[in-house]
Amino acid sequence: MSLRTEPAPSRALPAARPRWLAAVLVTVAVPLVLLTPRLLARATGTPDLGPDGLVLGGRAAGIVIGLLAATAVALLVVGLLPRPRWAYPEGGTRDLRIDTLRGVAIVFVVLNHLAMPSLFQLLTQEAIGPVSGAEIFVALSGIVVGLVYRDRLQRSDLLAVTAALTRRALTLYLTALVVLLGVYVLTLLPGVDGRVITTYTNPVTHDSFELYPNIGRLLDYPVPGWILRDIVLLRLGPYQFNILGLYVVLLAVAPVMVAALQRRLVAVLLVLSWLLYLSHAVAPASLFQAQFESPFPLLVWQLLFVHGVAAGWYQRELLAWSRTAAGRVLVVGAVLLQAAMMVFSWSNPFLSNRWDVRLALVPDATWNAFDGQWFNRTDLGLGRVLATLVLLVSAYALLSAFWAPLHRLLGWFLVPLGQATLYVFVVHIVVALVLANVPGLDQGNVLLNSAAHLGILALLWLMVRHRVLFKIIPR
């Protein structure tokens, strides 16, 4: 999913050694975070709901919100102080903050796709606001395009840029095709349970869908043309991978966006993007009936990408502006709004396992209705668009202000993953298949599953560090 189109320079993987201390710290901090609500519940007399998780209401919820607000304010106060030793060293050739954020997004995506109740899930499933890895990813991809190709246009021209973007789109497309077919072949191996790849089960309704309908017709003679067409249009395939189709289309169209920005038509571009977004609300259209279009309708999701491209293009200007008084006010506003978004998503009526915690602030039905109206994921409700924006702004601001400690703590882990996202994305499909065939997992043993998640993250990280199969698997 990485949008980098140049061959990876060796510096793409910084030589920073893993901070084992940081790893230990995280493994200590996570249980601590998990225990705090429980202690809080006990202290405030909220009943512990045991196997279904913990619901905090009333005073306990108030304390949680207070703590969150205090943290936000504290970060703002410290962050706004001039503290050059912690700040991100501006001026490098590659924005490592973006790589870090991509690392976060890919970790979210991977853990959510390896769907097992685990401690990590508590963090990755909308714990940081009503935003999932996909939204972050699509927006970041756009940002990278804008960032990279404005630079590139200084040295070459639109034709070369178009060629580079088209090549990248083609790489992603071929990767999608090969994974579509390759992983299916793996599911056919004797003794392999391929349902994790070939079916999708709605976690709420428990309805099950075939993801490879009629794939068997490939063995017909003659092979029906429509099954080939369905494959070519990516109408089949593992659901974990379908977002790649969205990128293929967005990247193929990206030269138009770059051309518009080059001609200073940013306003036209954004207005057009909003019109397309709105057109979906009026008359939803599926252009290719590709699989990705049902979870990620193209006309809706382009909004994040296009705005990402524009933001990346004007990164310098936006950063400069963020240092003005008005800019600072907006950043502060975004951080506070981010805290509010977190309170909202913590109030969701779902508990995924006994370690899960939620706030009980509004009745479930009210929350559901509000969520459905403003935060719909598939159709990208306006609230979700706003949530994505404030999350990215505050995360970027956080990384800018506290770069040194954060990089030390997690950068060594996130940056390599964030620089090889397509690779990680390909590998995680195979991991998902393997994992589904390991007996004993996903039986509700949260701690065991968490250990598995941790092991997988370590494995992916090591594979990236040691460039395992880098020559074969694209990045």
Closer to another protein at the Cβ: 23 or 266?
Answer: 266
Answer for which of 15, 221, 283, 325 binds another protein (CB under 8 A) is 221
Residue closer to another protein (CB basis): 159 or 283: 159
**Site for another protein (CB under 8 A): how many residues?**
13
Q: Do residues 266 and 260 make contact, with C-beta atoms less than 8 angstroms apart?
A: yes
Q: Does 51 bind another protein (CB under 8 A)?
A: no
- The answer to whether 461 and 37 are in contact (CB under 8 A) is no
82 binds another protein (CB under 8 A): no
Nearest approach, Cβ of residue 199 and another protein (Å): 26
Residues numbered 150-179 forming contacts with another protein, rule: CB under 8 A: 154, 156-159
H/E stretch holding 463 reads helix 446-465
CB-nearer residue toward another protein: 226 or 321 = 226
- As measured in angstroms, the least distance from the Cβ of 268 to another protein is 15
Instruction: Based on the shown chain and the rule CB under 8 A, indicate whether residue 222 belongs to the binding site for another protein.
Output: yes
Contact flags string 173-212 toward another protein, x per CB under 8 A? ----------------------------------------
Closest CA to 297 of 271, 277, 274, 275: 277
Query: If DSSP codes are grouped into helix, strand and coil, which group holds residue 378?
Result: coil
Question: Min. distance of Cβ 293 from another protein in angstroms?
Answer: 21
SS3 content of the chain, % helix, strand, coil (to 5): 70, 5, 30
d(CA 336, CA 75): 11
**Binding piece for another protein, criterion CB under 8 A, among 8-16, 257-265, 301-309, 377-385:** 257-265
Report how far residue 50's alpha carbon sits from residue 354's, in angstroms, rounded to the nearest whole number.
6
Q: Closer to another protein at the Cβ: 233 or 343? A: 233
Compare residues 82 and 222 and give the one whose CB is closer to another protein.
Answer: 222
317 binds another protein (CB under 8 A): no
CB of 263 to another protein, least distance (A): 6
Nearer to another protein, 20 or 221 (CB): 221
CB of 227 to another protein, least distance (A): 9
**Which residues, 6+ apart, have CB-to-CB distance to 26 below 8 Å?**
409, 410
Minimum CB separation of residue 174 from another protein in Å reads 15
Query: What would the two tokens of residue 364 be?
Result: 């479930």
Cis peptide, bond prior to residue 203, ω within 30 of zero: no
By CB under 8 A, residue 262 contacts another protein: yes
Cα–Cα distance, 46 to 59 (Å, whole number): 9
Q: How far apart are CA 207 and CA 471, in angstroms?
A: 39
User: Helices 298-313 and 382-401 meet at what angle, rounded to 10?
Assistant: 30
DSSP string covering 272-339: HHHHHHHHHHHS---SS--GGGTTS-HHHHHHHHHHHHHHHHTHHHHHHHHTSHHHHHHHHHHHHHHH
For another protein, the closer CB: 223 or 369: 223
Contact set for another protein, span 434-473 (CB under 8 A): none
What is the pattern of x (binds another protein, CB under 8 A) and - over residues 108-147? ----------------------------------------
CA distance 25 to 454: 14
Instruction: Report the SS3 class of residue 164.
Output: helix
Segment contacting another protein (CB under 8 A): 217-225, 237-245, 361-369, 463-471? 217-225
Residue 244 and residue 151 in contact, taking contact as beta carbons nearer than 8 Å: no
Interacting residues with another protein (CB under 8 A): 154, 156-159, 221-223, 225, 228, 262-264
